[in-house]
Chains A and B, each alone.
Chain A
Amino acid sequence: MIAFDLPTFWFVLVGVLFAGYAILDGFDLGVGGLHLFTKTDEERRIMMNSIGPVWDGNEVWLVTGGGALFAAFPEVYATVFSGFYDAFMFLLFALIFRAVAIELRSKQPQRFWRRGWDIAFAGGSVLSSFLIGVAMGNVAWGIPLDENHEFTGNLLTLLHPYALLLGVTTVALFLMHGNIYLILKTEGMLHEKLKRWVKITIPIYMVLFLIVGISTPIVCEHIGLAFQERPYILSLLFILALLLAFNIPREVYKGREFIAFLSSCGSMIALMTLFGASVYPTMVFSSPNIVNSLTIYNGSSTEKTLGFMMIVALIGVPIVITYTVSVYYIFRGKVKLTEESY
């Protein structure tokens, strides 16, 4: 058994926060991506209101993930965000536009107003999903770092084919995830329509997932190495993610929508764990000069900070999870449009 290791604890916790973000904001970004495929105003309102009470809480997972990264791994936080500067600014713009679109779309009835915010909402959602995928792709692929862990590339360095593939895969994943969430929250005509869409969104994602899964150990040398070091655990996680994803259409077909959604969440958790387990203990690979990589040891805060913040997190996170679950429970069931709706 490995002794308890604070940086590892924080690696897992930051992972949990980002996985929480992917699962939660994943579906509301997906809902955004599907938004333009429905045509009537009422359907669009139902879709937007299905995420109405929860989207800003979901975004908090990203913000807190960023905060936790800052506290526990300041070196990584500084390197990644200054290195991905342009890409990150686009992500922020996309998220801002999306948030504002949700809030403002319903405030005026005019056609141009609603149409404009519809486009902002859908565009912002798809762009955010894509950029999150590109960022993941770059962390796995490696970015050029000098011996002070400063990023030495530019925006084009980040847009290589592998990162773009991961970007597209993430969009597909979120669309599928959002689609299942919407099935859970709708009824009637829209519900039936969404059930038909699932037959398209799931296969697209599965194909992309397989391509990524097979190509990653081959094109990313260091992840290939990780697969040789930890073959069983990584293969197991890969198969688990795959099986859970296969389970989704089955549950939808049987009408067990909630289990289908859980299955989709489970698949994403398996995927994030797989990602974490293949890069551990490295957080940012330096490519081509692998010696300059950032690991959980050379990028972390002091033991004192990590230890103190661990207590803070162990008290805070369960409370957060409790009321997050309560809020979802209070807003369970199908969406009904009321006076307060967007």
Chain B
Amino acid sequence: MTIGLGLILVIISGLWLKTRNPLYHNMGRFWTRIFGLIFAIGVASGIVMEFEFGTNWATYSRFVGDVFGSPLAIEGIYAFFLESGFLAILLFGWDKVGPRLHFFSTCMVALGSHFSAIWIVVANSWMHTPAGFHLAKKVKVAADGTQHPLTAQLGEGSFTYEEIPLPTDYVLQQSDLHSVRAVITDFWEMVFNPSSMDRLTHTVLGCWLVGTFLVISISAYYLLKKRHLPFAKMSMKIALTVAAITTVLQFWSADSTARGVAENQPTKLAAIEGLAESTAEAPLGIVGWVSWEKDDEGNRIGFKQTTLKIPYLLSIFVSGDFLHPIKASETVVVGLEDLPSDAFLLSRHPDATPEELKKIRPDYWPSVPVVFQTYHIMIACGVALFIIAWTGLWFWKTGRLWATDKRLTRWYLIVCVFSVFLPQLAGQAGWFTAEMGRQPWIVYEILKTSEGLSQAVRAEQVLTSLILFGLIYALLFLVFLYTLHTKIKHGPSDDISGEQLPEKWRSLEVLEKKTGGPDQ
């Protein structure tokens, strides 16, 4: 939310600097207050994230620390400090600094939140498409050069530690987890792993939508109530413009992300589309219902579904060749019955017969019923946002948007007020799809989620802390809604005489009006 709202703040502050219209200043003040509230809640709930890997995923942390710790540390050094340092000036610096420095601070806060998104998504993408590393086994090397396992009892000081690289096709065993870890070989290859750029674009655009639709929602509320009209109109115009552009960009990014998934994580793609058999002319599901099919012992053997589908479309999307749809529809999309491949399964279960492979295979699938639904919820929200944004733009250009007595406009504005939930829902559903779609892996096709847990922490401890966090977050959320509500009720200042400007800035404005301003 702060990422998107930060962008809007930069636009508003920039407009103020350019036009010196006090209206923009009042807008800046109001949205900054909202921003501050969201930021505080974000800091309070986000602090958990940096430590959760250590507390709950200790084995995972040991295993990937050499690779995964770096982006998190960089995020701390370059993003969090930037955000929080300049946030102080943004929130409390109105009377302390000049307008240009204030604008600069606004940009830095927005930049900081984008940096933060970059590094956290890079780290997360590495879990999906690991790159730039190899596995290495830590051994004790005695004085005569012989290698011993870590558990060997050698005399104090008579050995050194060494990490021996393992072959790329090495299959990690449960018993290795205390001596084998992922070791970085190429930092930039890790950063630009196959999915990071697609997923980063997709996430950032999603965040922009979250921020802009918050603005749209609150502005629409004021328009409906006929309060703060100049403010609401201007906010609405800015937010609708950003939203209209972003929704289009998001479709493009979504397409590119999905093609990346098809290439790098075919199992996930097959699962979100509920595709069982490998086929050309694969159809694209629109809405439907998928459930597991289980044998008598409760093992998964397949799934059944009732889904409304558009024929050929999935194949066309996967090939990406939109100009030659006929040829594109011949693209074969691999289904879950062939995923993961026999070769992959054999590397883990070397002695399995073809029948056994068939039985083992569903254990390597994500939860198809869940990811199918979350994925389609995300898509539906995205389409709805696109329609809302462009309808708004059309209403604005035809002048209908400000005719707040007309029935159609009122309906549209009511939709806008509630539209704030859509990008949130889309974002949550999207993360669910991505992360659930990776299961059973925590690092894709290397480490299983169940193997990454902390050994020193018992299930009751986790359950207790989960319940407590659930309660605290619920409380936080209620308090957040309540305070946001008061802030919205209180509203922005309608005084556009320039009285709202900080004293130092006021003299500056008068001075520049007299001299014609520096830009002219």
Report chain A residues within 8 Å CB of B48: 92, 96
- B455-A64 in contact (CB<8A): no
Q: Which of A54, A298, A305 contacts B70 (CB 8 A)?
A: A305
- Tell me, yes or no, whether A107 is within 8 Å of chain B by CB: yes
- Tell me, yes or no, whether A233 is within 8 Å of chain B by CB: no
Q: Which of B56, B78, B94, B465 contacts A340 (CB 8 A)?
A: B94
Of residues A83, A148, A338, which shows the largest number of chain B Cβ atoms within 10 Å of its Cβ?
Answer: A148
Report chain B residues within 8 Å CB of A78: 53-54, 58-59, 61-62, 65, 454
A268-308 contact mask (Cβ, 8 Å, vs B): 1 or 0: 00000000000000000000000000000110011011001
Interface positions, chain B 276-324, Cβ under 8 Å from A, are none
Report chain B residues within 8 Å CB of A75: 62, 65
Q: Which of B184, B461, B472 contacts A96 (CB 8 A)?
A: B472
Q: Which residue of B lies closest to A336 (CB)?
A: B95
- B455-A150 in contact (CB<8A): yes
- Tell me, yes or no, whether B50 is within 8 Å of chain A by CB: yes
A37-74 contact mask (Cβ, 8 Å, vs B): 1 or 0: 00000000000000011101101101110111011111
Known interface pairs A60-B81, A85-B457, A324-B81; A53-B468 also in contact (CB < 8 Å):
no
A161-173 contact mask (Cβ, 8 Å, vs B): 1 or 0: 0000000000000
- Tell me, yes or no, whether B252 is within 8 Å of chain A by CB: no
Interface positions, chain A 105-154, Cβ under 8 Å from B, are 107-108, 147-148, 150-152
- Tell me, yes or no, whether B383 is within 8 Å of chain A by CB: no
- A85-B461 in contact (CB<8A): yes
- B178-A148 in contact (CB<8A): yes
Known interface pairs A54-B88, A93-B468, A302-B184; A103-B37 also in contact (CB < 8 Å):
yes
Interface positions, chain B 63-88, Cβ under 8 Å from A, are 64-70, 72-78, 80-82, 84-88
- Tell me, yes or no, whether A239 is within 8 Å of chain B by CB: no
A49–B200 alpha-carbon span in the complex (Å): 37
Known interface pairs A68-B73, A89-B55; A96-B45 also in contact (CB < 8 Å):
yes
A111–B461 alpha-carbon span in the complex (Å): 36
Q: Flag the segment in A179-187, A196-204, A252-260, A309-317 that touches B.
A: A309-317
- A77-B61 in contact (CB<8A): yes
- Tell me, yes or no, whether A207 is within 8 Å of chain B by CB: no
Q: Which of A77, A93, A107, A323 contacts B86 (CB 8 A)?
A: A323
- A320-B81 in contact (CB<8A): yes
- A74-B76 in contact (CB<8A): no
- Tell me, yes or no, whether A247 is within 8 Å of chain B by CB: no
- Tell me, yes or no, whether B151 is within 8 Å of chain A by CB: yes
Q: Which residue of A lies closest to B59 (CB)?
A: A78
Q: How many residues of A contact B (CB 8 A)?
A: 68
Q: Which residue of B lies closest to A325 (CB)?
A: B85
A301–B94 alpha-carbon span in the complex (Å): 44
A148–B87 alpha-carbon span in the complex (Å): 43
Q: Which of B65, B84, B95, B185 contacts A60 (CB 8 A)?
A: B84
- Tell me, yes or no, whether B474 is within 8 Å of chain A by CB: no
- Tell me, yes or no, whether A330 is within 8 Å of chain B by CB: yes
Known interface pairs A83-B456, A309-B70, A340-B94; A301-B65 also in contact (CB < 8 Å):
yes
Q: Which residue of B lies closest to A312 (CB)?
A: B74
- A56-B40 in contact (CB<8A): yes
Known interface pairs A304-B184, A330-B97; A67-B84 also in contact (CB < 8 Å):
no
A133–B92 alpha-carbon span in the complex (Å): 32
Report chain A residues within 8 Å CB of B170: none
Q: Which of A56, A70, A99 contacts B54 (CB 8 A)?
A: A70
- Tell me, yes or no, whether B511 is within 8 Å of chain A by CB: no
CB distance from B121 to the nearest CB of A (A): 16
- A64-B73 in contact (CB<8A): yes
A88–B76 alpha-carbon span in the complex (Å): 20
- Tell me, yes or no, whether A82 is within 8 Å of chain B by CB: yes
For the residues of A in contact with B, the DSSP-based class is helix
- Tell me, yes or no, whether B486 is within 8 Å of chain A by CB: yes
CB distance from A292 to the nearest CB of B (A): 12
- B73-A71 in contact (CB<8A): yes
A325–B73 alpha-carbon span in the complex (Å): 21
A338–B66 alpha-carbon span in the complex (Å): 47
- A60-B69 in contact (CB<8A): no
Report chain A residues within 8 Å CB of B84: 56-57, 59-60
Report chain A residues within 8 Å CB of B66: 74, 301-302, 305
- Tell me, yes or no, whether B333 is within 8 Å of chain A by CB: no
- B89-A330 in contact (CB<8A): yes
Report chain B residues within 8 Å CB of A64: 73, 76-77, 80-81
- B72-A71 in contact (CB<8A): yes
Known interface pairs A104-B479, A301-B65, A308-B70; A316-B77 also in contact (CB < 8 Å):
yes
Interface positions, chain B 206-256, Cβ under 8 Å from A, are none
- B187-A308 in contact (CB<8A): yes
- B89-A60 in contact (CB<8A): no
Known interface pairs A75-B62, A316-B78, A324-B81; A305-B184 also in contact (CB < 8 Å):
yes
Given contact pairs A103-B36, A304-B183, a sample of 13 additional A-B residue pairs in the complex whose CB atoms are under 8 Å apart:
A53-B89, A60-B81, A62-B47, A67-B76, A71-B72, A77-B53, A78-B65, A81-B58, A82-B56, A85-B456, A89-B55, A152-B456, A323-B81
- Listed from nearest, the 10 A-B pairs whose CB atoms lie closest are A74-B65, A81-B54, A64-B76, A71-B69, A53-B88, A82-B58, A70-B69, A103-B40, A71-B73, A67-B76
* A–B Cβ pairs within 8 angstroms, 10 of them: A60-B81, A70-B61, A72-B69, A74-B66, A77-B54, A78-B54, A89-B55, A148-B455, A302-B184, A313-B73
Which B residues fall within an 8 A CB radius of A?
Answer: 36-37, 39-41, 43-45, 47-48, 50-51, 53-56, 58-59, 61-62, 64-70, 72-78, 80-82, 84-89, 91-97, 151, 161, 163, 178, 183-185, 187, 454-457, 461, 465, 468, 472, 476, 479, 483, 486-487
Which A residues fall within an 8 A CB radius of B?
Answer: 52-54, 56-57, 59-60, 62-64, 66-68, 70-75, 77-83, 85-86, 88-89, 92-93, 95-97, 99-100, 102-104, 107-108, 147-148, 150-152, 297-298, 301-302, 304-305, 308-309, 312-313, 316-317, 320, 323-324, 327, 330-331, 338, 340-341
